Amino acid sequence: MNYKLLHMNIHGDAQGNLISIESMKNIPFEFKRMYYIFGTQPNIRRGKHAHKKTEQVLIAIKGSCKLFLDDGTNKETIKLNKNYEVLYLPPNLWHEMYDFSTDCVLVVLASDFYNENDYLRKYDDFLKYWVHDEKNN
């Protein structure tokens, strides 16, 4: 599966800690948008979609959540609970976020502006798009 779990460098000193994220330096794309998810109830499952083109990184800067990932063939579950771990999600990867801790703040950096046309919100559409894409690569 072609996600990447990236470990950010922590600049720690007597003041405390700092993590810096820079386009094309420690994440593999230029980001145009940042959003964050917080106050998610523990029994909620979010996401449940794939993107046609948008690349994203997800960071649980506070608390924890789990990610269910599916590339159309393989399925994996990842727990995000470290603010120095950055999960890179390429396009065409079905993802669901769940098991949010009540204090979880999930920051997302995206390669493009919000555009509903970039979403595959039906699993069948994702599978069809994925098969189409595979054939053309």
H/E stretch holding 128: helix 123-135
Letter for the amino acid at 91?
P
Q: How many CA atoms lie within 13 A of 5 on its CB side?
A: 14
Nearer to ligand TYD, 46 or 66 (CB): 46
CB of 121 to ligand TYD, least distance (A): 8
From candidates 6, 21, 29, 46, binder to ligand TYD by CB under 6 A: 46
List the one residue from 1, 11, 35, 134 that touches ligand TYD (CB under 6 A): 35
Q: Which residue has the tokens 């700092």?
A: 18
Amino acid sitting at position 60: A
Active site residues: 49
Q: List contacts with ligand TYD (CB under 6 A).
A: 33, 35, 37, 46-47, 114
